[in-house]
Amino acid sequence: MTNIDTEDNYEKLGHRPNTMNPELELKDKPEKQSSLKLTPEFIWEQCLELAGNEELVPKAFILSSLDSAEVSIDENSQLIVSVFHHFDRIHQEFIEPLSACLQKVCTSLEVEQLDLQVLESSKQPNLPYEAAPLSPTLPLAKANILDPKFTFENFVQGKESELAFGACQNCAESPGENYNPLFLYGDVGLGKTHLLHSIANYVVEHFPTYAVEYVTADQFVKDYVTATRNNDFETFDKKYMNADVLLLDDVQFLSGKEATKDQLFNIFNHLQLAGKQIVLVADRRPSELEDLPERLTTRFSAGLVIDIHPPELETRIAILECKATSFFGKFQISTETFQFIAENFTNNIRLMEGALTRLLAQARADDEQTYINLSYARTALAPLLGNNVPLEATPGRVLELCADFLHVTIEKLTGPKRNKEITLARHISMYAIRETSGLSFPQIGAMFGGRDHSSVMHANKRVEKLMSEDPAILAQVNELIRKIKQDLGKKKAPRTGTNG
């Protein structure tokens, strides 16, 4: 039998095959094998290679949690493996297949049989690279923008999103291996951003050494402008060129920004050649992205392109039930109420969820209203059930309505002032526009003096909270939404005259 050296300084095996075949026979095995010394690290590497090749343990999990383990052999012929992450999962799912692989490896290498012992290490892992420090001008996206509520577990699948969900899950579990790039497109409010956050949250949890960058096109442009202004492209490159997973949202807003598109082209090529995962999201297919050069759109189309359609009625009802259970468990809601909401909001899940939030905020304001039936829902949601008129063509008129109702000027609503009264009026206006249109956060931000999407997201969350706490705010917002819908409904009346 071959001797196993357990001292600190091991003599590495002189021959190591590139891959391990199922029979575990070493190619070109030296004649005097008894004189070789096999290290515990080598035996563990062979064990992991076999487990990965036979698909007993996911290769992504091996890379993230097992490959970095500390390994030794004790006097009782135990291979001691000290892991830094996912100790419980290893014992629950993988200890038996890993033990079986270890036995096969020992037999093939003609060494004494070893028992596998997996322990939880109290040390910090040695990262394969030196993590770049957070920059004060270019904060990493995962530090402040990921929504922990957006996970694969709470994404409600339907037929129309099944392919997209499966592809995103695959990209998260095996970054860079299969669908690269992955391009998702569809109308606003269909779950694309939820899936991007799900990928990011999964990778952050299961691959703690991976650099994950979730960023909107708007933020990408701002990062590049900041780098140009500060003459600090080193920080910009560290943020994006070192990403293991790049998730780019709202790609359509890159149109018209030539220097930024050049930078994205360079980053895209660099990451793809390095085998890093790239996922992009837009509201239309790559070939329909305005003003983007062909060298970009062809690369976007080179991987897997998936169209996400509006969910069917059954899926919409399931989404509402999931949201109500997750965030508003104290209320009982009738089946007819869920169906009523789902039937009235067919193309935008975000608006549909907003209707549920409004309904439950109203119920919270009515102290003893814990059971919500169809009649109550009809009354509470009446302000939202008018004509859902698109607002893209009338931003000036909508701002005028908000300013008149809230007793401020349009200049103050869209300007830089941030005192308490103006800020509240601005947030309520943003929320009302969001609730009465299919406009995206960046589009609404553009209406308010070019504010970024994160400002609009913050405004929506703040107003939702205020509505749930203050009945006066709830009534004020409801009335503003009613006035917007009423006014725009009149504007939509058919014109009179000849040549109709």
pLDDT of residue 369: 63
pLDDT of residue 85: 67
Rounded Cα distance, 282 and 217, in Å: 10
Place of tokens 């941030």: 418
Q: Which of 77-86, 110-119, 320-329 has the lowest mean pLDDT?
A: 320-329
Q: What's the pLDDT tens digit per position in 1-35?
A: 444 443 333 333 333 333 333 333 333 344 433 33
Rounded Cα distance, 205 and 61, in Å: 11
The number of residues in the chain equals 500
Contacts of 295 (CB under 8 A, 6+ apart): 265
Higher pLDDT, 248 or 190: 248
Tokens representing residue 469 in the block: 């706490």
pLDDT of residue 328: 54
The Cα-based distances of 184 to 155, 248, 303 in angstroms read: 16, 10, 11
User: Which DSSP symbol is given to 118?
Assistant: E
Higher pLDDT, 366 or 165: 165
Q: Angle 420-435/349-365 helices, nearest 10 degrees?
A: 120
Tokens representing residue 301 in the block: 């189309």
8 A C-beta contact, residue 140 and residue 187: no
Q: Which of 56-60, 279-283, 386-390, 402-406 has the lowest mean pLDDT?
A: 386-390
Average pLDDT over residues 447-475: 86
Average pLDDT, the chain: 77
